Structure 1
Amino acid sequence: MIFNYPNGRRFTQTSEKQETFRKKEKNFTYSNRGMTLEEDLNETNRFYLENNIAVIHKKPTPVQIVQVDYPKRSAAVIKEAYFKQASTTDYNGIYRGRYIDFEAKETKFESSFPLKNFHEHQINHMKAVLAHDGICFVIIRFSSFEKVFFLPAEHLLIYWKRMSDGGRKSITFEEINDNSHALSLGFRPRIDYIKVIDDLYSFH
């Protein structure tokens, strides 16, 4: 089966041997400094769910099927499909009766975070969530020195407008540090962003 990304680049399936090597390489790369941001957040959300704290899940990546074969009447085989560009954010759910919606991003840059990591439709989605009194934010990881931040969407929208008005196309590390809440890596949960929500919205 052929999968293609939104930009037309083909998705290739690795062999079992390559996958084993990739896992070993990944385990080595992330030793002593945690997993990828997505893995950390998925583990965190499992902890919240298992302990009846919150119900928050990662949204599945939408797929557009373009070619299907029917070798048997009772079975269909997908021959080609495309990963569609997500129209909203990565995660959503509910916590203490409030709707939670957030995006997760990583960068290897040390001095700034490029705003090109976001798309116009995601920004519009965040605006809509805030307009309906939802809790919306971005979790950003600077992977080069393992810093993780909780940036409220209200601040992201300010920087996005600055770029739209002809200003800089990134958020400086200092701006993120000043307007975000630092998140430390723990054991369970891995990234306790609910604690920040408790502090910001007086959920105690």
Structure 2
Amino acid sequence: MSVRYPNGKVYQASISGNKSESEKKNSYSNRGMTLEEDLNATNTYYLERQIAVIHKKPTPVQIVKVDYPSRSAAVIREAYFKQASTTDYNGIYKGRYIDFEAKETKNNTSFPLQNFHQHQIDHMQQVLTQDGICFVILCFTALEEIYYLDASHLLGFWHRHLNGGRKSVTKQEVQEVGFIIPLGYQARINYISIIDRLYFNGN
């Protein structure tokens, strides 16, 4: 099946998208889990314990070609994204709007800014302008390290790039302004603990 963006470009699945079983086994920490699956499990944990309501945003798709190999089955052959996606997740926590993007890289020393798109950057700026809590979760898969990076810092790195600066964020920069998120058992990626520290005095 081919899925296309609004501009007609064929969609290529990102690292955090659906993977084959063999690819999953080689994903970070070799636990057969993707970053997306761990975040979804974390959000389910938050929801079930009434900690926060955070969901992955659905991506609206327009189906344009369907084959019917049998009367009881339909196979989608071609579809288009109706609009460019913004960020991966949003919701509410302690009365504050939460909005974030999750990305992975196999690079050990830097995070390529090409993983982000201008419309996502614009969306993050709009959320910050409305006093929402906006951030990105960056996963260095080979190092098995996950970081919380406030969107305001990402915007700074993005504008540096637009002004002729480096096309990536060094891992050292991520460590200096971000926060590492240890992998847990129940809340696998407990990003709420970082939000508590930054916005709610650790409570």
TM-score range, shorter chain: 0.7 to 0.9
Does 2:19 align with 1:8? no
Match of 1:167 in 2: 165
Match of 1:104 in 2: 102
* Per-residue Cα deviation, 1:110-146 (whole angstroms, up to 9, x for no partner): 1100001100000000000000000000000000110
Change (3 A) 1:44 1:157: same
Partner Cα distance (2:131, 2:93) in 1: 13
Given that 2:28 and 2:34 are in contact with CA atoms closer than 8 Å, whether structure 1 keeps it comes out as: no
Given that 1:3 and 1:83 are in contact with CA atoms closer than 8 Å, whether structure 2 keeps it comes out as: no
Q: Structure 1: any 5+ residue segments left out of the alignment?
A: 12-18, 71-75
* Per-residue Cα deviation, 1:66-110 (whole angstroms, up to 9, x for no partner): 24689xxxxx98553124564310000000100000000000001
Given that 1:113 and 1:172 are in contact with CA atoms closer than 8 Å, whether structure 2 keeps it comes out as: yes
> What TM-score comes out, normalization by structure 2 length?
0.83
Shift of 1:169: 0.6
Shift of 1:8: 2.1
Query: Aligned to 1:180, which of 178, 182, 188?
Result: 178
Partner Cα distance (1:84, 1:173) in 2: 35
- Aligned-CA RMSD value: 2.7
Partner Cα distance (1:58, 1:128) in 2: 19
Partner Cα distance (2:191, 2:175) in 1: 16
Does 2:81 align with 1:89? no
Given that 1:92 and 1:102 are in contact with CA atoms closer than 8 Å, whether structure 2 keeps it comes out as: yes
What secondary structure, in the 3-state scheme, does the structure 2 residue paired with 1:144 have? helix
Letter matched to residue 29 of structure 1: N
What secondary structure, in the 3-state scheme, does the structure 2 residue paired with 1:199 have? helix
Letter matched to residue 201 of structure 1: Y
Q: Percent identity?
A: 57
Letter matched to residue 45 of structure 1: N
Say how many residue pairs are matched. Answer: 190
